Homo-oligomer: A and B are copies of this chain.
Amino acid sequence: MVGIVWWSGHTVKRGRSAGPDPGDWSTLSDWNRSQTEHQGAHGRSGRAGGREGGLGTMARNALRRQPTLDEVAVRAGVSRSVASRALNNAPHVSPAKREAVERAVRQLGYVPNPTARALATRQTGAAALVVSGEDPSIFADPFFAQVIVGASAALEEADLHLMLCLAASDRGRKRVAELMRSKGADGVMLMALREDDPLARVAEEAEMPVVFGGRPVGPAPRWYVDVDNLGGAREATEHLVSRGRTRVATLCGRLDTGAGRARYRGYRDAMLAAGLDPLPPREGDFTEPSGAAAMAALLADHPEVDGVFAANDNMAAGALRALREAGRQVPADVAVVGFDDLAVAGITDPPLTTVHQPIAALGREMARMLVALVDGQDPTPLILPTRLVTRASA
């Protein structure tokens, strides 16, 4: 059996049958104690700290520690270099040794330590998805869940892990900034950035691969994936017009977001193209209550309205509720079109005609673009198509 230096000067016998050695235990215990005392800036103490007086659990954990590549190499009768090459199936390894390494890996149950690998390669093997916004609950929108599903699948293909950062609080934003500056991830996907979000600048300064999800307001970033908000909104409005609606209004989303603005522009363009007067936008914040409020206000000011394009399904659902409460029939009196085609759209009464956007694809393409970027390629921005889904509301 090989002797492995555990800490400076102390030796732990290894091998499956090696019995516990009191001397080593006390060493470990000392080490753990000092770990605990030296608790770092982040306020957590050492991992293996003194639960239930310690010896039993701690010693067991410590002795059964992960095998290292060195041990695999020894067992396979090769050098660490060869073992490493075999593991990463790199060239310059004879079939025999490759086989020996594989066997040793299996016997020892070896799993490479990703942290060590990350330190050596300067790649963390993780990509971060940052969702920015004041209110953490905006994230509760099922929209993000779908983005995540898509991104997760694409990252899985590239064998990257997904770190999720909800940059709502100041503290959260600071952590994201630090993550980027410290290169704690190989790349970042940035979503829902407001105008002048400082995180955009931090990302740039950190010179780290960044893909934007949704073109932010302002100058276009170099890499982004977006949905054809303009075209979708135009199509929605055209649909209302084609149904003979002439007094069509829009309940727009926050105009300091790219999507909110583009969807409003699409509405406006379509109205003008049809020779109709666009009504001034009613601004909401993409939530159901804001849609209901905007709709109520709209009805008060413009009772003659006969068609409504809402910036998303949540707001459309709110509009439907406000219309119901005002005694208007949908679509007979007022036709309503939403945007997103989330699950809600099928559940509302009446079911919502809405602009379908490929949300999971958005996530997937963001992730793929990021992977390409991390790989050193230079992908081009991408706009994903939308399509109108006709249901009962318009």
Which A residues fall within an 8 A CB radius of B?
36, 38, 40-52, 61, 64, 66, 87-90, 109, 111-116, 118-119, 121-126, 136-137, 139-142, 144-146, 148-149, 152-153, 156, 158-159, 161-166, 169, 171-172, 175, 178-179, 181-184, 186, 207, 288, 314, 317, 321, 324, 343-344, 346-349, 371, 374-378
In the bound complex, how far is the Cα of B167 from the Cα of A161, in angstroms? 12
Q: Are A156 and B139 in contact (CB under 8 A)?
A: no
In the bound complex, how far is the Cα of B40 from the Cα of A87, in angstroms? 9
Given known contacts A44-B371, A317-B347, A163 and B166 CB-to-CB distance under 8 angstroms: no
What is the chain B residue whose CB lies nearest that of A346? B288
In the bound complex, how far is the Cα of B179 from the Cα of A256, in angstroms? 39
Q: Are B114 and A182 in contact (CB under 8 A)?
A: yes
Output the least CB separation between A349 and chain B (Å): 4
Q: Are B175 and A156 in contact (CB under 8 A)?
A: yes
Can you list 10 A-B contacts with CB-CB less than 8 angstroms, sorted by A residue number? A44-B158, A51-B378, A64-B207, A111-B181, A115-B124, A139-B148, A148-B166, A156-B172, A288-B343, A288-B347
Q: Are B375 and A44 in contact (CB under 8 A)?
A: yes
Output the least CB separation between A41 and chain B (Å): 5
Kindly list 20 other residue pairs between chains A and B, CB separation below 8 angstroms, not including A109-B181, A112-B182. Answer: A36-B376, A40-B90, A42-B158, A44-B159, A44-B375, A45-B375, A47-B376, A50-B376, A51-B378, A113-B182, A115-B118, A115-B124, A136-B152, A139-B149, A141-B145, A142-B142, A148-B164, A152-B164, A152-B172, A288-B346
Question: Please, which residues of chain B bring their CB within 8 A of the CB of A43?
Answer: 158-159
Question: Please, which residues of chain B bring their CB within 8 A of the CB of A288?
Answer: 343, 346-347
What is the chain B residue whose CB lies nearest that of A158? B44
Given known contacts A119-B116, A374-B47, A166 and B149 CB-to-CB distance under 8 angstroms: yes
In the bound complex, how far is the Cα of B378 from the Cα of A47, in angstroms? 12
Which single member of B45, B116, B158, B161 contacts A376 (CB below 8 Å)? B45
Q: Are B321 and A41 in contact (CB under 8 A)?
A: no
State the copy count for this chain: 2
Given known contacts A89-B41, A156-B175, A347 and B374 CB-to-CB distance under 8 angstroms: no
In the bound complex, how far is the Cα of B344 from the Cα of A179, in angstroms? 35
In the bound complex, how far is the Cα of B314 from the Cα of A348, in angstroms? 12
Given known contacts A346-B288, A347-B317, A47 and B123 CB-to-CB distance under 8 angstroms: yes
Q: Are A145 and B149 in contact (CB under 8 A)?
A: no
Q: Are A152 and B166 in contact (CB under 8 A)?
A: yes
Q: Are B321 and A184 in contact (CB under 8 A)?
A: no
What is the chain B residue whose CB lies nearest that of A66? B183
What is the chain B residue whose CB lies nearest that of A175? B156
Q: Are B136 and A140 in contact (CB under 8 A)?
A: no
Q: Are B184 and A161 in contact (CB under 8 A)?
A: yes
Question: Please, which residues of chain B bring their CB within 8 A of the CB of A113?
Answer: 119, 182-183
In the bound complex, how far is the Cα of B349 from the Cα of A47, in angstroms? 51
Question: Please, which residues of chain B bring their CB within 8 A of the CB of A145?
Answer: 139-142, 144-145
Question: Please, which residues of chain B bring their CB within 8 A of the CB of A161?
Answer: 163, 165, 175, 179, 184
